[in-house]
């Protein structure tokens, strides 16, 4: 199969925190690795860190498992900015300045070791990072295609539509998917799926439609 010569970045975001960005990223890494791609992972900023960043640690472990080029990578490469307070980076940095040079250095280092780099954001698209920089700005910053992960719980339609509107208004390339958790399934089928089918015809629902999502992402890489 033809492969992209350069590293393609995908920025994984969500409508909020604790939606399943890390879970979805790990599934994508495994799928693409089975297709013969050298995959990597990156989380520029993680907050709520007490010594070891939990999301970053999972991403690093999976990257090393799937790509031998990541054997010499450590946690500070995967998560260059670690902040203790579980809040937005703007608040958690405690009046300090986010060091974008550290982020750039890690990004360049990781890109050399893979041809697909999955970049996981923190929280939702409009989470503030610095005075004039929001999480959504990382999509253009890394020249990435976005993947918006949304929940299946009651109330998710509003959050999903607002996030999609933002991506459309900024003319950013993206996919979106619903990370359907077990305890959300019955309620989702009754209260949310009817509208999604009306508005989007065939919304991508994980875990059922993982292959469909990845096929579209592969098409983007190759074209």
Contact (Cβ atoms closer than 8 angstroms) between residue 149 and residue 26: no
DSSP string, 27-74: HHHHHHHHTT--EEEE-SEEES-BSB-HHHHHHHHHHHHH-GGGTT--
Spell out the residues 6+ positions from residue 21 whose beta carbon is closer than 8 angstroms to its own: 12, 13, 14, 55, 120, 121, 149
- Which pair of structure tokens corresponds to residue 55? 């999301």
In sequence order, which residues have a C-beta less than 8 Å from that of residue 167 and are 6 or more positions away?
Answer: 125, 136, 146, 148, 174
CA angle 127, 18, 173 (to 5 degrees): 55
Of the candidates 38, 43, 93, 145, the residue annotated as catalytic is: 43
Active site residue 3: no
Q: Which residues are catalytic?
A: 43
């Amino acid at each position: 199969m033809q492969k992209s010569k350069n590293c393609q970045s995908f920025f994984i975001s969500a409508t909020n925190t604790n939606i399943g960005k890390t879970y979805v990223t790990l599934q994508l890494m495994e799928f693409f690795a089975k297709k013969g791609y050298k995959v990597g992972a990156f989380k520029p900023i993680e907050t709520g860190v007490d010594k070891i960043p939990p999301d970053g640690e999972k991403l690093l472990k999976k990257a090393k498992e799937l790509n031998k080029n990541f054997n010499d990578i450590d946690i500070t490469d995967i998560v260059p900015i670690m902040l203790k307070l579980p809040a937005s980076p703007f608040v958690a940095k405690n009046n300090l300045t986010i060091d974008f040079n550290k982020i750039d250095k890690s990004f360049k280092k990781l890109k050399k070791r893979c041809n697909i780099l999955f970049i996981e954001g923190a929280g939702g698209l409009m989470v503030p990072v610095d005075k004039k920089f929001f999480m959504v700005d990382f999509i253009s910053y890394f020249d990435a295609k976005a993947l918006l992960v949304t929940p299946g719980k009651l109330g998710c339609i509003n959050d999903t539509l607002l996030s999609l509107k933002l991506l459309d208004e900024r003319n950013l390339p993206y996919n979106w998917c619903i990370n359907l958790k077990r305890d959300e399934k019955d309620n989702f089928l009754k209260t949310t799926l009817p509208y999604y089918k009306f508005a989007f015809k065939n919304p991508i629902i994980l875990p059922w439609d993982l292959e469909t999502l990845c096929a579209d992402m592969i098409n983007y890489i190759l074209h």
